Chains A and B, each alone.
Chain A
Amino acid sequence: MKYVDEFRDGELAKNISANIAREANPAHAYRLMEFCGGHTHAISRYGLADLLPASVRLIHGPGCPVCVLPVGRVDQAIRLATEAGVILCTYADTMRVPASNNLTLMRAKAAGADVRMIYSTQDALKIARDNPTRQVVFLAIGFETTTPPTAVAIKQAAAEGLKNFSILCNHVLTPAAMHAILSVQGGVALDGFIGPAHVSTVIGSQPYEVFASDYAKPVVIAGFEPLDVMQAILMLIRQINSQRNNGRATVENEFTRAVTRYGNLKAQQLVADVFELRESFEWRGLGSVPHSALRLRAKFADYDAELRFNSEYVAVPDHKACECAAILRGEKRPQQCKIFGTVCTPENPIGSCMVSSEGACAAHYSYGRFREITQ
Chain B
Amino acid sequence: MSITKSYSRPLDFKNGRIEMSYGAGGRAMAQLITDLFAAAFDNPYLAQGNDGALLPMATGRLVMSTDSHVVSPLFFAGGDIGCLSVHGTINDVAMMGAQPLYLSAAFILEEGFRFADLKRIVDSMAKAAFDAGVPIVTGDTKVVEQGKGDGVFITTTAVGVVRDGITLSGDRAQPGDKILLSGTIGDHGMAVLSQREGLSFDAPIVSDTAALHALVAAMLDCGASLRVLRDPTRGGLATTLNEIAKQSGVGMLLNESSIPINQPVEAACEFLGLDPLYVANEGKLVAICAAEDAERLLDVMRAHPQAKEAAMIGEVREDAHGFVQMTTKMGGRRIVDWLAGEQLPRIC
> Cβ of A226 and Cβ of B330 under 8 Å apart?
yes
Q: Of the candidates A4, A44, A346, A373, which one forms a contact with B340 in the assembled complex, judged by CB atoms under 8 Å apart?
A: A346
> Contacts A370-B323, A374-B319 given: A10-B335 contact, CB under 8 Å?
no
Closest to A96 in B: B341
Cα–Cα distance between A96 and B341 once the two chains are bound (Å): 9
Q: Contact check: which of B198, B325, B334, B340 meets A45 at CB < 8 Å?
A: B334
Stretch binding the partner chain, chosen from A48-56, A178-186, A238-246 = A48-56
Q: A366-B337, A368-B335, A374-B321 are in contact. Are A123 and B198 (CB under 8 A)?
A: yes
Interface: B43 (CB within 8 A): no
CA distance A14 to B331 in the complex (A): 8
- Cβ contact within 8 Å between A47 and B199: no
Map CB proximity to A onto B93-119 as digits: 1 under 8 Å, 0 otherwise. Answer: 000000000000000000000000000
Restricting to A1-45, which residues have a CB under 8 Å from any CB of B? 1, 4, 8-10, 13-14, 17, 44-45
- A10, A368, A369 — most chain B CB neighbours (10 Å): A10
Taken together as a complex, chains A and B put the C-alpha atoms of A287 and B169 apart, in Å, by 53
Q: Does A83 sit at the interface, judged by CB under 8 A?
A: no
**Which residues of the other chain, A, contact B333 by a CB distance below 8 angstroms?**
47, 50, 370
Is chain B's binding surface mostly helix, strand, loop or mixed?
loop
* Cβ A4 vs Cβ B334 within 8 A: no
Whether B263 and A1, one on each chain, are in contact in the complex, defined by CB atoms closer than 8 angstroms, is yes
A67: min CB distance to chain B, Å: 16
Distance in angstroms between the alpha carbons of A1 and B265 in the assembled complex: 10
Contact status B198-A373, CB under 8 Å = no
A300 close to chain B: CB less than 8 A: no
B100 to chain A, nearest CB (A): 34
Give the shortest distance, in Å, between A106 (CB) and chain B (any CB). 9
CB-defined contacts of B334 to chain A, threshold 8 Å: 44-47, 367-368
Whole-angstrom distance between the Cβ of A249 and the nearest chain B Cβ: 28
Residues of A within 8 A of B140 (CB): none
12 sampled A-B residue pairs with Cβ under 8 A: A10-B331, A17-B331, A45-B328, A47-B333, A49-B332, A51-B331, A96-B341, A346-B341, A366-B335, A367-B334, A370-B323, A370-B325
Known: A4-B266, A10-B257, A346-B341. 6 other contacts (CB 8 A): A4-B267, A10-B330, A46-B329, A51-B330, A345-B340, A370-B333
Chain A interfacial positions (CB closer than 8 Å to B): 1, 4, 8-10, 13-14, 17, 44-51, 96, 119, 123, 226-227, 345-347, 362, 365-370, 373-374
